[in-house]
Amino acid sequence: MSFWEFFWIVVASFLFFAYLMMLFSIFADIFRDDDLGGWGKAAWSIFIIFAPLLGAFVYLIARGGSMAQRSMKVAQEQQAAQAEYIRSVAGDAATTSPADEVARAKELLDSGAITPEEFAALKRKALA
């Protein structure tokens, strides 16, 4: 195999991979869109399946601007869900004050769960 044959195989592979990524993102956008009805989704899918290159370019021209907006909306929803999950898992740990931590340690001391030395260490840590 010569250098140029290898070069064109690499270029063709890259273009094919880029084309597949474009199709995946278009299909994801078609089925993500709430404004597009079932018949519209079916029509776009059939058009892209039977005339892939033409269908992809027509879709990008016709709906490419709103495609970015839908992607941003999904990213923001995922970020908000992640932040809510982190808040729910963190619980009260992120919102407790040093006084709350000392009070909790005092309850543990009174119940006999910790020793006075451990209470003093927790108190120093909370007030530091």
Phi, psi for residue 35 in degrees, rounded to 5: -75, -25
Q: What is the pLDDT of residues 2-33, one digit of tens each?
A: 999 999 999 999 999 999 999 999 999 999 88
What does 42-106 look like in DSSP terms, one character per residue?
HHHHHHHHHSHHHHHHHHHHHHHHHHHHHHHHHHHHHHHHHHHHHHHHHGGGGT--HHHHHHHHH
Model's pTM, two decimal places?
0.58
